[in-house]
Homo-oligomer: A and B are copies of this chain.
Amino acid sequence: MQAAGSEDERLDRAFLALADPVRRRLVARLSRSSATVNELAEPFELSKQGISKHIQVLERAGLLTRTRDGQRRPCHLAPAALEELTAWIDGYRLAAEACYRRLDAVLATMNAAEEAKDE
């Protein structure tokens, strides 16, 4: 299952969700195991409502899913959504690195030509 909206909107929400140290700590915690809101809120000095809001941000971004277990609503990290982000970043990172390698090759060629001329 995937968060709603266009790719742009999904990436907006996902990157925005990660642009906060509290939410990143929540992701880190959930990468070890699923957890409830109260369990997630415990290490923080924020109110439970505040944590609940952060969790909703992560959920709207598709970075976590929630199930029902009696009174509890455990949160589970969604690795596929994280993978979509790394795929986006890596596409452009690799393109840029390739671009710089081409530039280096051109500069090397020019230097070689320059030295040849000096001889």
Contact = CB atoms under 8 A, between A and B. Distances in A.
Interface of A: 8, 11-16, 18-21, 24, 27-28, 30-33, 77, 79, 82-83, 85-86, 88-93, 95-97, 99-100
Contacts of A33: 99
Q: How many copies does the complex hold?
A: 2
Given A15-B15, A18-B15, A19-B12, A27 B92 contact: yes
Contacts of A79: 93, 96-97, 100
B24 A11 contact: yes
Contacts of A86: 86, 89-90, 93
A92 B31 contact: yes
A85 B19 CA distance: 11
B77 A82 contact: no
Nearest to A12: B19
Nearest to A11: B24
A102 to B, nearest CB: 9
